[in-house]
Amino acid sequence: MAIFAGSGVALATPMKENGEINYDSLEKLIEAQIEGGTDALIVCGTSGEAPTLDDPEHLEAIRFAVQVTKGRIPVIAGTGSNNTAHAVMMSEESEKLGADGLLLVTPYYNKATQDGLYAHYRKIASSTRLPCIVYNVPSRTGTNILPETMARLARDVENIAAIKEASGSISQVAKLASLTEGFCDIYSGNDDQIVPVCSLGGIGVISVLANVAPRQTHDMVMYCLEGNYKKACEMQLAALPLVEQLFIEVNPIPVKAALNMQGFNVGSPRLPLTELTDAHKKSLREAMEAYGCL
């Protein structure tokens, strides 16, 4: 059974001026997402600046999201690491905190072999009863999970339930769908490929766009799942200029700027990420106004 179908938001983590997590703003973000129709919260993923969160605050953010959400939509905890033992620990703790699922990014920097990736994910999944979403994002990790490896994992490990596929290759998504039909859910990991991925059997997106446009992102997926690809395609194409601006600098720099423009007071990214440049703030604001989310 799918963890969710629809739009899962890759939620930004609000920060105060002193760099601490701003829990008041985090609660407002969560409530706005639920009100906006988002189908799942992904907390402490890449967009949530997990690499610069220490373990206690990382786990506290997950606990807080579970508490605020109160079971209204699933909370999926980002617990991936390039250290398998660390990912196991974070996954076990997140299960205790009440998370509904896990998002596990490909080990970065190590550049594991395909057999290493298989062993890594099998080890983490065996430590928890929670359903696991494998996150394939070669542009950030330096390693691509091949469709054959993902199919092997999904077939052999009961609680490896899905993949967030952000390779950018529609051919790879098609191969993955052909190898995993019926035993692995596919979520688009790229906001400019929501409709193409759903057309190949995907059931949703884990989205940066949803931070600032939750209703539109949800509706786009729903039109796909209902078979209304004409309307979904119109929405996909209309969103492209804003999606481009949300990645004009490395994520989550632009989306935090966008949320600040919307009044959510999410603060600045933590170093080594920096504020969006003034020129890019201007183009981002224009795209948000044109899309109707500002």
In angstroms, the CA 169 to CA 75 distance is: 28
In angstroms, the CA 21 to CA 11 distance is: 13
In angstroms, the CA 259 to CA 107 distance is: 29
What is the DSSP annotation of 230-245? HHHHHHHHHHHHHHHH
Asked about 135 being catalytic, the answer comes back as yes
Asked about 164 being catalytic, the answer comes back as yes
Q: Is omega for the bond preceding 252 within 30 degrees of 0, making it cis?
A: yes
Q: Which of 164, 187, 256, 291 is catalytic?
A: 164
- Neighbouring-strand partners of residue 134: 104, 163
- Look at strands 6-10 and 132-136 and give their pairing: unpaired
- Residue 139: CB atoms within 10 Å: 10
Per DSSP, 207 falls in state E
Q: Which of 118, 121, 135, 187 is catalytic?
A: 135
Q: Extract the runs of DSSP E, i.e. beta strands, from 11-97.
A: 40-43, 75-78
Sole residue written with tokens 């105060």: 16
In angstroms, the CA 218 to CA 53 distance is: 28
Question: Nearest-5° angle of CA 79, CA 109, CA 80?
Answer: 5
In angstroms, the CA 81 to CA 112 distance is: 12
- Residue 23 tokens, joined: 């829990």
Cite the active site residues. 135, 164
